[in-house]
Structure 1
């Protein structure tokens, strides 16, 4: 019991230490005390606004410096992003159907929010893991996460998601339809899966010919 409590305590402390969780706790407390963004001092809001404006360029700069593009990995990542988008769109369609959403704006919101680009926070955790494994001198092949792959996902995810969301919104209310969402989701999954399937078939076929 003591060991379990220690683990729970450690988990809770690590959660509190997470910057995003701390921000969420502060935000909830502010909401409880009826403090809105507009009621905060100008100095505080200016700091938040300027920090927010700086984050995206900094992340893009980091990605640009860290990314090492390889053709084979590029194909995998593009397929993953299409598959993720397809699943997200189908999830949005399911959510719209369950909640009975009929307002076009809400439907579009439900559609585009899950299509947001991959978050930087998981990469921060991956980096923390990687640093610990560096100290332990663990070989790259045995590492928990692949840092290079994570950076590539971040690098591709932002333009992919931005382009997809802008494309959807530029069509007005065309995609604000549950059936259209389902078709689009299935199409995205097909785009992700079919090339891999064809590639495997062609590889198997070429191996068969080589054996004969």
Structure 2
């Protein structure tokens, strides 16, 4: 059996294990605990090993800018798409989606695939690219979220919010992943490699790294919670999002004349990452504040963000696995465009189905109102 297929099947088995373990996890806190182990231990260790195993290349500096470019393109492209799907402009759902859609969560979606299938060199590239994404989700999106909050609530507590922004900057540079990336880069600058570290440090980091892939796959299985409300609408948005990022990737590949299969695969896998948890954290914080001050959510809708995350992880995993299973097909830009158009087509069909269903529902409601009015007149 092909090694790629074998690894992909293995990922699927871990996801299924996670799905069947749901009953054993009685609270969200337990699942979040697993997520914290991944983000604070297994993932940093894996990225540290990846970075320490390669030579510093000035070209790596461009990867954070590439990721930031993807974030910004998604942020500015999707307002129109959201309106077409049926989200009302300036509604809480609309603002929630605008904040969530441009974010990327490579650590929980594409890093395991890149690590297992493409190797440590490409994981290092993805880790560097994620720095740009982190700037976007932690700083830029937080600034946007607070700006929208001020606009909705006419709150003038700017000093407090500036303090929170400063706290987020500190958070960015105190995250284990970011810290270990900086430490790894510093060590490599002074000529160190992973093999030159003390044996106990190597052994500890390697064993933590081994936890990442199975834990991430199990976490995805645990996190799958398909809800009926908004399911089709959110699914259509995510499929369209996949189509858009593949078009962006195809454009970059064509313009830069990238022909190495692994380079194309890691770029696609990274851009197809699931939506990040961080925008939800911003949304949840603002929503809690509004509930205390106003008694209800006004700027965002946290339930919409949760539903999107629940769908985003399994869908992104499925798409990334499909890409990885067909490396020769996906290395041709025209094929990527064809798959992107197919995604846009599927998403559009779902949107049309949603709109037709909404129109049918409106007609049914109007008929019911008319009949009630006729009954009232008879009385």
Normalized against structure 1, the TM-score is what?
0.72
Which residue, out of 44, 49, 54, partners 2:201? Answer: 44
* 1:22 counterpart (179, 188, 203): 179
Contact 2:223 2:310 survives alignment (8 Å): no
Q: Does 1:133 align with 2:289?
A: yes
Question: In the superposition, relative to structure 1, how do residues 208 and 92 fare at CA in structure 2: closer, same or farther (>3 Å)?
Answer: same
CA distance in 2, matches of 1:31, 1:207: 63
Cα 1:193/1:41, change in 2 over 3 Å: farther
Question: How far apart in 2 are the matches of 1:151 and 1:26?
Answer: 34
2:334 corresponds to: 179
Q: Is residue 103 from structure 1 mapped to residue 260 from structure 2 by the alignment?
A: yes
SS at match of 1:31: helix
1:201 aligns to what?
A: 356
Deviation, 1:47, is: 3.0
Between 66-75 and 80-89, the greater mean CA deviation after superposition? 66-75
CA distance in 1 between counterparts of 2:216 and 2:290 reads 23
Long gaps (5+) in structure 1: none
Query: Aligned pair in 2 of structure 1 residues 14, 189: CA closer, same or farther (>3 Å)?
Result: same
Q: Which moved more, 1:50-59 or 1:96-105?
A: 50-59
SS at match of 1:101: coil
Partner residue in 1 for 2:122: none
1:142 equivalent in structure 2 = 298
Q: Deviations over 1:124-145 (max 9, x none)?
A: x448726963994664523646
Deviations 1:88-108 (A, max 9, x none): 111110110111112333223
Structure 1 residues 80-122: Cα deviation after superposition (integer angstroms, max 9, x where no partner): 3212211111111011011111233322333222123334555
Q: CA deviation at 1:11?
A: 6.1
Please report the RMSD computed on the Cα atoms of aligned residues, expressed in angstroms. Answer: 3.7
* 5+ long unaligned stretches in structure 2: 1-158, 371-379
What's the offset of the Cα at 1:182? 1.0
